[in-house]
């Protein structure tokens, strides 16, 4: 049965590719949604504990089912579209923002994580090994470039969302968010350029494979710090969450949103935060490289290492959110243009010098 | 390396890129619309009063228009971003090939960086990159 399917697909490469992409995307989507739920739950719990509160406790053991209850609750809410807002665009913008954020996950190696973790069930269902062929994220030769192309849609969409809501808080929030994202994009790109100089590749898989001898964090610590700061700003998280500073402009550019459009916007934000945590793990901490974990097969420990590292950065994001106060918008923008931009240019020059030195020593090809 | 020889094999890979992106976009759009549709079907729909549909302004009476003109200084951020971002993308593309490019390419990149830093510095000196 399986053999005949494989021979049929081999004669139809386009169909086989499409099917592969669909399987990979569905995998990655389910994985991403689960992780967004876990991220929000962990964030609420850790955030509460740092404030000496309990966090969610009521639904399920330790409040584990709280997020699912919230999800069901939000689906039962009424969608309110303000009379002054543009009806069609008001519903279309959350769909676009979420769809574009979810587009990131096909480029990230999440389908690889799912496919190789499911190999646990290989002794029971031998056919599951076919999932190894469903990994498509390794084929993006320009993966890093693609991530930035997708991310650069965000300022436009956010500005539009604020504008079509026709609310003063939304518009101020939208303008602030767009300025912030634009300002931090440049040091973000320059610090990634330093990573690309050291690894010589735009493919996420090759970037990880190049770190086999040494993780980039040891080679370029300044790049890591720059990338961490700008990644938090690009994900609009505290201390750079000026777009939705509750005490000044209610909820920023999503003030007018309620029910499922609001859910979609929040989900898009968490997807972007999770993707940036994964990028930190891939660029600087060797992605899925690491010793074989005890009790797991060798191909499965790679994805598990990637998840462990990603969750470490997620945890760091949450602690940063709990510990630091918010910047003011003018302070934030001047931080980007007067400090981070010159620093990232200097960092790029340092990295180029390190690269030429290592090449002359024969330590790097 | 990659940019130099776009062979037939590379062409197939590139096509897979676009195919994968378009399929992923369709799936994620469908998912987002499904959530809104589910909400629309499941939600109970009480009557909508004029006050409920009015713009949110902390319960006060709404004053004036929201869609006002932004100060022109805001657009300086856009322009500065445009300059710096194009150069950053050029640097990113150069970085892939940095092994193969000679000293000339290196000097070119240094010049490009110097021009960027100078132009952004000039804008800062003129007090144009300032939030008002």
Q: How large is the ipTM?
A: 0.84
Same domain, B45 and B84: no
Q: In this structure, what is the dihedral angle of CA atoms A293, A299, A304, A309, given to the nearest 10 degrees?
A: 90
Q: Quick check: A196 and B55 CB within 8 A? A: no
Q: Is residue B103 part of a domain?
A: yes
Same domain, B20 and B48: yes
Number of domains in chain B: 2
Contact A235, A149 (CB under 8 A): no
Q: Quick check: A22 and B23 CB within 8 A? A: yes
Please give, rounded to a whole number of angstroms, the shortest distance from the CA of B27 to a CA of chain A: 8
Q: Is residue B58 part of a domain?
A: no
pLDDT tens-digit readout, B51-88: 777 777 776 777 777 777 777 778 888 888 888 888 88
Q: What percent of chain B has pLDDT over 90?
A: 4
Same domain, B6 and B34: yes
Same domain, B45 and B80: no
Q: Quick check: A259 and B44 CB within 8 A? A: no
- State phi, psi for A15 to the nearest 5 degrees: -65, -40
pLDDT tens-digit readout, A260-300: 888 888 888 888 889 999 999 999 988 888 777 777 776 77
Q: Which domain range does residue B85 map to?
A: 72-125
Q: Quick check: A78 and B92 CB within 8 A? A: no
pLDDT value, residue A225: 92
Q: Is residue B100 part of a domain?
A: yes
Instruction: Report how many helices (DSSP H) and strands (DSSP E) chain B contains, helices first.
Output: 3, 0
Q: Is residue B62 part of a domain?
A: no
Range A235-247 average pLDDT: 71
Q: Is residue B104 part of a domain?
A: yes
Q: Which domain range does residue A190 map to?
A: 2-361
Contact A166, B67 (CB under 8 A): yes
- B46 touching A, CB under 8 A? yes
Contact B125, A226 (CB under 8 A): no
Q: Is residue B95 part of a domain?
A: yes
Number of domains in chain A: 1
Interface of B with A in 52-81 (CB under 8 A): 52-58, 66-68, 70, 74, 77-78, 80-81
Report yes or no on whether pTM surpasses 0.95.
no
For the record, the structure tokens of B45 come out as 């729909």
Identify whether A276 is preceded by a cis peptide bond (ω within 30 of 0): no
């Amino acid at each position: 049965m399986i053999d005949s399917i494989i021979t049929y697909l081999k004669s139809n490469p386009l169909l086989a590719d499409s099917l592969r992409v669909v399987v990979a995307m569905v995998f990655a989507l389910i994985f991403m949604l689960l992780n967004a739920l876990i991220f929000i739950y962990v964030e609420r719990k850790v955030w509460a504990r740092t404030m000496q509160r309990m966090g969610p406790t009521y639904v399920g053991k330790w409040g584990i089912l709280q997020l699912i209850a919230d999800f069901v609750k939000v689906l039962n809410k009424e969608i309110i579209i303000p009379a002054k807002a543009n009806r069609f665009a008001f519903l279309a913008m959350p769909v676009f923002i979420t769809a574009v954020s979810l587009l990131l996950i096909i480029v990230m190696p999440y389908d690889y994580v799912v496919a190789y973790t499911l190999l646990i069930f290989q002794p029971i269902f031998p056919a599951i090994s076919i999932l190894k062929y469903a990994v498509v994220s390794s084929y993006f030769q320009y993966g890093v470039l693609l991530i930035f192309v997708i991310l650069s849609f965000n300022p436009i969409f956010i500005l539009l969302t604020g504008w079509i809501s026709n609310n003063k808080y939304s518009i101020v929030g939208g303008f602030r968010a767009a300025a912030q994202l634009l300002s931090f994009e440049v040091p973000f790109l320059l610090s990634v350029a330093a990573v690309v100089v050291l690894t010589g590749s735009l493919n996420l898989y090759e970037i990880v494979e190049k770190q086999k001898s040494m993780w980039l964090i040891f080679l370029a610590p300044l790049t890591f710090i720059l990338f961490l700061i700008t990644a938090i700003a690009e994900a609009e998280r505290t201390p750079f969450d000026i777009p939705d500073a509750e005490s000044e402009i209610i909820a920023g550019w999503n003030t007018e949103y309620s029910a499922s459009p609001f859910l979609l916007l929040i989900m898009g934000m968490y997807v972007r935060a999770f993707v940036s945590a994964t990028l930190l793990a891939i660029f600087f901490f060797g992605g899925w490289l690491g010793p074989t974990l005890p009790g797991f097969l060798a191909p499965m420990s790679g994805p598990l290492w990637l998840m462990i590292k990603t969750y470490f950065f997620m945890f760091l994001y949450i602690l940063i959110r709990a510990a630091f106060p918010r910047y003011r918008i003018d302070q934030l923008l001047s931080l980007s243009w007067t400090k981070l931009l010159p620093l990232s240019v200097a960092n790029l020059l340092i990295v180029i010098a390190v690269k030429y030195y290592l090449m002359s020593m024969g330590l790097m090809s | 390396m990659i940019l130099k020889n776009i062979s037939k094999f590379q062409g197939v890979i590139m096509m897979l890129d676009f195919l994968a992106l378009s399929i992923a976009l369709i799936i994620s759009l469908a998912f987002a619309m499904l959530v809104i549709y589910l909400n629309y079907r499941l939600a109970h729909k009480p009557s909508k009063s004029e006050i409920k549909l009015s713009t949110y302004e902390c319960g006060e009476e709404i004053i004036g228009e929201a869609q006002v003109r932004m100060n022109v200084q805001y657009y300086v951020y856009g322009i500065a971003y445009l300059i710096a971002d194009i150069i950053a993308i050029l640097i990113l593309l150069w970085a892939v090939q940095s092994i193969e490019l000679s000293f000339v390419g290196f000097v070119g990149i240094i010049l490009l960086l110097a021009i960027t830093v100078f132009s952004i510095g000039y804008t800062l000196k003129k007090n144009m990159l300032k939030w008002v």
